[in-house]
Amino acid sequence: MYQATSEVRVRFAPSPTGYLHVGGARSALFNLLYAKHNNGKFILRIEDTDQERSTQESLEMVVSDLQWLGLNWDEGVDPKTLKDIGPYGPYKQSERLDIYKKYAQQLLDQGKAYYCFMTDEELDAAREKIKAAGLHTHVESPYENKLMSEALERIAKGDKAVVRFKTRELRKEYILKDLIRGEVKFPSDMVGDFVMLRSDGMPVYNFCCVIDDYLMKISHVLRAEEHLPNTLRQLMIYEGLGWKTPEFGHISLILDDDRQKLSKRKGAVACDQFKKDGYLPSAMNNYMALLGWSHPEDKEIMSLGDMEAAFTLDRVHASGAVFDRVKLKWMNAQHLRALPNNEIWKLISPYLIEVGLKLPTDSDWQNRSVETFKSYMEILTDAVTLYSPLDDSKYEINMVESDEALKMESTKVVLQAWKELVAAHPTETFTEADFLAIQDAVKAKSGQKGKNLFFPIRVALIGKPHGAELKILVPLMHKKSILERAEKAFALINGKAGALC
């Protein structure tokens, strides 16, 4: 039986058993890029037959993360209602059980699958025996060639059986022409009769996957390398059913800098976490695409559209890709800084609000502040540290860090001069040059220089002698606020009560 279609149809098929891992997101991205490049369709199928581990919460999270990344699918579940969209539904495997039953029955009827009544204990004992004999064979089920009528009788009596796929006649060397890895050879003895349906009737991944990929007319299966052993089982099922296989491409693993499989010990791996940490979806996509693929002109900063236009599988390499968090941050900065200032403000606002910062609401100030700060920002959360010194209600003197400055003999005279010169400034705001001029004037008036000069001014502006660059902060502050802060610092060194309120 051959499928008559030349349309490219690819799918991302997450199991909703946790968060969307960056590795999963990259598989989704590669599928989307391949579909778009070939005017094909990208399908989202939910593989939720593992009822114990699948949750609605995880499904919603995976869907919302894919949406956040902008990896929009043509068919699958509707992102809002999670109802089916597309002609090949249902797209949730838990709603396709009758379909799997039908094909399982077909394989049973054809003698290509059988009911197996081995208990866990019997299986363990058989495995032990093989091991003790020093063999590397698979457990042979005594039920492989039993009469169907006998099996059905036992089942009718309430005995539990799994359905196993019969591999005996299919055991040979399988050669897969993988689109990414080239020829992959599977030895003939790699798998024994594997379970297709559990004893509760629930189908297992390898079986569902074949049925769905076939019925959903999937032309190319692009998925992680770790699925290669499953691919062998799936090739056998295709053969058993007499179906043409799709093309396969197995994408290499994402590795940590120690070349181990990417793990959360080294930092975020969940898309949701990157989102919370203030990464932009455009940067995530750009970075993930380069984990295993490269642009023909070696372009580095790319939009989704750029990548869709250039994505071909011959540029996807088979070796593991190292996840470089420093590079990802750098890339995020490039995407962030390329946005208009008002866009950046919109993006950072939620983070500023979340930590309760009170900042000016006029858009001129907001745009100006972004213009000042964006070259210091790599991820959106960096805005919190940058903007915090600008919130008057957060101004307080760090007594530990400021101890030395507060105890210096000269501090009083420096702050006195600072207050006077700021007050005498003719306008409500200051340019960088105004600030530097006033600082020079304080130096002249107080006769102080170096840390004797700078520490007190810093404490009077940001509450500590080190930290943010004053010449970029002051132009974003108002005279009133600078004076109030100076008064507080001055009062403190004069030992006035309530100075730290």
List residues with catalytic annotation.
264
Tally Cβ neighbours within 10 Å of residue 263: 11
Q: Does 93 bind ligand GLU (CB under 6 A)?
A: no
Closer residue to ligand GLU (CB): 114 or 174: 174
> Binders of ligand GLU among 160-219, rule CB under 6 A?
209
* Residue 296 contacts residue 305 (beta carbons within 8 Å): no
Residue 4 CB, shortest distance to ligand GLU, in Å, is 23
* Angstrom distance (rounded) from CA 282 to CA 287: 9
Closer residue to ligand GLU (CB): 11 or 374: 11
Residue 42 CB, shortest distance to ligand GLU, in Å, is 13
Closer residue to ligand GLU (CB): 228 or 421: 228
Dihedral angle computed from the Cα positions of residues 465, 467, 470 and 472, in that order, rounded to the nearest 10 degrees: 180
Strand partners for 77: 84
* Residue 13 contacts residue 261 (beta carbons within 8 Å): no
Stretch of 9-17, 141-149, 265-273, 274-282 lying at the interface with ligand GLU (CB under 6 A): 9-17
Query: Tokens 């790699």 — which residue?
Result: 190
Residue 93 CB, shortest distance to ligand GLU, in Å, is 9
Residue 45 CB, shortest distance to ligand GLU, in Å, is 8
Q: Which of 14, 40, 203, 463 binds ligand GLU (CB under 6 A)?
A: 14
* Angstrom distance (rounded) from CA 91 to CA 45: 5
Instruction: Give how far Cα 199 sits from Cα of 52, 99, 337, 351, Å.
Output: 15, 17, 56, 50
Stretch of 10-18, 68-76, 100-108, 423-431 lying at the interface with ligand GLU (CB under 6 A): 10-18
* Residue 165 contacts residue 193 (beta carbons within 8 Å): yes
Instruction: Give how far Cα 80 sits from Cα of 75, 76, 77, 92, Å.
Output: 13, 12, 8, 15
Q: Does 223 bind ligand GLU (CB under 6 A)?
A: yes
Q: Which of 8, 9, 15, 25 binds ligand GLU (CB under 6 A)?
A: 15
Distance of CA 301 to the CA centre of its chain: 18
Residue 193 CB, shortest distance to ligand GLU, in Å, is 21
Per this entry, what is the length of the chain? 501
Stretch of 8-16, 310-318, 394-402, 417-425 lying at the interface with ligand GLU (CB under 6 A): 8-16
Strand partners for 186: 174
Distance of CA 199 to the CA centre of its chain: 35
Stretch of 13-21, 64-72, 98-106, 489-497 lying at the interface with ligand GLU (CB under 6 A): 13-21
Residue 115 CB, shortest distance to ligand GLU, in Å, is 26
Q: Does 225 bind ligand GLU (CB under 6 A)?
A: no
* Residue 158 contacts residue 230 (beta carbons within 8 Å): no
> Binders of ligand GLU among 227-266, rule CB under 6 A?
227
Give how many residues touch ligand GLU by CB under 6 A: 7
- Residue 121 burial (C-beta neighbours within 10 Å; 0-12, 13-18, 19+): exposed
Which string of DSSP letters, residue by residue, matches 349-365?
HHHHHHTT------HHH
| Structure tokens that stand for 168 in this block | 């005996």
Closer residue to ligand GLU (CB): 15 or 286: 15
> Binders of ligand GLU among 18-47, rule CB under 6 A?
47
Closer residue to ligand GLU (CB): 36 or 223: 223
Stretch of 11-19, 173-181, 326-334, 347-355 lying at the interface with ligand GLU (CB under 6 A): 11-19
Question: What residues line the site for ligand GLU (CB under 6 A)?
Answer: 13-15, 47, 209, 223, 227
